[in-house]
C-alpha cells in the first residue's frame, strides 16, 4: 500500500532535478554564499577593535581616479578614526556612534584646528559616496546579508586560493539601492574579513576597487586614539 506513493515521490524528485538541474545548484550556491557571509558576520561581532590600511579607487568610463589611501581604526563601542595619507596627507576624521557630526582635523600636527561637519555633508563622504558611519566592515557585511535575502544570485563564483576565499555576489548599489551591481570579494581565512572588494556595473564595467591590508585585530587600541 505505501510503496506506490513513495515510488512516485522519488520519481518526481528525480524528474524535477533532471529537467531543471540549475534549480538545485542555484539554491546550493546561494546557501554557500550565505554560510560564507554568516561566518564573516560572526567574526566581526566577536572582535573588540580592528585597524587596517585601505586603498580605494573609482573608475570613470574605464579610467582610474586618484586612489584614496588611509588608515582605518574601529572600536566596538562604535568609535571610528580615519588617518588619510592620500590625497589629504595629514587629515584625520573622528566619529562616535549615533553622533550627527564628525570631527575633521585638517592637520594632524596641529590638532587644535578642527571642524564639525554633518555626516551627510558631501565633503565627508567617501569617493564612492559612503558616510563615515557606513565605512566599517560591519556595515558592509550587513549590506551583503541584506542583498542575499532579496537579490537572486545568477551564477556560481566561489573558490579558494591559498589563505583566501573569493566569491561573487549580485547586489543593489549601496548608496541608492536602485541599480543591480556585481561584487567580487576576497576574504582572508585568517580573520574572515574582506581583503579586496571589486564592484562592477550590471554590464561588467569596473566601478570601484577597494584593497584592505595589514589588519590588526583586538589590540586594545588606546583610548587617546579616538579622543578629539
Read off the pLDDT of residues 38-75 as tens digits, 9 standing for 90 and up: 999 999 999 999 999 999 999 987 788 889 999 999 99
What confidence category does residue 30 fall into, taking pLDDT thresholds of 50, 70 and 90? low
Average pLDDT of the chain to the nearest whole number? 87
Using the structure block, give the residue that is written with the C-alpha cell 586612489: 67
Q: What percent of the chain has pLDDT over 70?
A: 87
User: Which of 38-47, 146-155, 183-192 shows the lowest per-residue confidence on average (mean pLDDT)?
Assistant: 146-155
**Global pTM?**
0.84
Which residues, at least 6 apart from 85, have a Cβ–Cβ distance to it below 8 Å? 69, 70, 71
What confidence category does residue 198 fall into, taking pLDDT thresholds of 50, 70 and 90? very high
Which residues, at least 6 apart from 64, have a Cβ–Cβ distance to it below 8 Å? 57, 58
What is the rounded distance in angstroms from the CA atom of residue 73 to the CA atom of residue 25?
40
Evaluate if residue 194 carries a pLDDT over 70.
Answer: yes
Predicted local confidence at residue 28, as pLDDT: 55
Predicted local confidence at residue 29, as pLDDT: 57
Q: Which three cell numbers stand for residue 40?
A: 564573516
Using the structure block, give the residue that is written with the C-alpha cell 531543471: 20
Predicted local confidence at residue 63, as pLDDT: 82
Judged by phi (left if over 0) then psi (alpha if -120 to 50, else beta), residue 89 lies in alpha
Q: Which three cell numbers stand for residue 168?
A: 561573487
Beta-strand pair 194-201/206-217: antiparallel
Measured from the Cβ of residue 87, the count of other Cβ atoms closer than 10 Å reads 11
Predicted local confidence at residue 66, as pLDDT: 86
Cβ atoms of residues 189 and 165 within 8 Å: yes
User: What ranges do the domains of the chain cover?
Assistant: 24-226
Pick the CATH number of 24-226 from 3.90.1150.10, 3.40.50.1370, 2.50.20.10, 2.30.30.90: 2.50.20.10
Backbone angles phi, psi at 48, to 5 degrees: -95, -35
Q: What is the DSSP secondary structure assignment for residue 50, as one 8-state letter?
A: E
Amino acid at each position: 500500500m505505501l510503496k506506490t506513493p513513495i515510488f512516485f515521490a522519488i520519481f518526481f524528485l528525480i524528474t524535477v532535478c533532471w529537467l531543471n538541474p540549475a534549480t538545485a545548484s542555484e539554491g546550493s550556491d546561494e546557501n554557500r554564499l550565505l554560510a560564507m557571509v554568516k561566518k564573516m558576520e560572526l567574526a566581526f561581532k566577536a572582535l573588540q577593535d580592528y585597524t587596517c590600511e585601505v586603498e580605494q579607487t573609482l573608475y570613470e568610463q574605464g579610467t582610474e581616479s586618484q586612489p584614496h589611501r588611509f588608515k582605518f581604526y574601529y572600536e566596538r563601542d562604535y568609535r571610528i578614526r580615519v588617518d588619510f595619507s592620500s590625497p589629504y596627507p595629514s587629515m584625520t576624521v573622528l566619529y562616535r556612534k549615533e553622533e550627527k557630526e564628525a570631527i575633521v582635523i585638517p592637520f594632524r600636527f596641529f590638532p587644535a584646528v578642527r571642524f564639525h561637519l554633518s555626516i551627510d555633508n558631501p565633503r565627508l563622504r567617501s569617493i564612492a559616496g559612503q558616510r563615515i558611519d557606513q565605512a566599517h566592515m560591519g556595515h558592509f557585511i550587513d549590506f551583503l546579508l541584506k542583498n542575499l535575502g532579496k537579490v537572486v544570485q545568477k551564477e556560481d563564483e566561489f573558490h579558494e586560493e591559498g589563505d583566501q576565499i573569493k566569491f561573487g555576489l549580485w547586489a543593489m548599489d549601496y548608496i541608492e539601492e536602485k541599480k543591480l551591481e556585481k561584487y567580487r570579494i576576497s576574504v582572508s581565512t585568517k580573520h574572515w574579513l574582506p581583503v579586496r572588494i571589486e564592484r562592477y556595473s550590471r554590464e561588467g564595467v569596473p566601478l570601484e576597487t577597494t584593497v584592505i591590508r595589514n589588519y590588526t585585530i583586538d589590540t586594545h587600541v588606546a583610548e587617546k586614539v579616538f579622543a578629539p
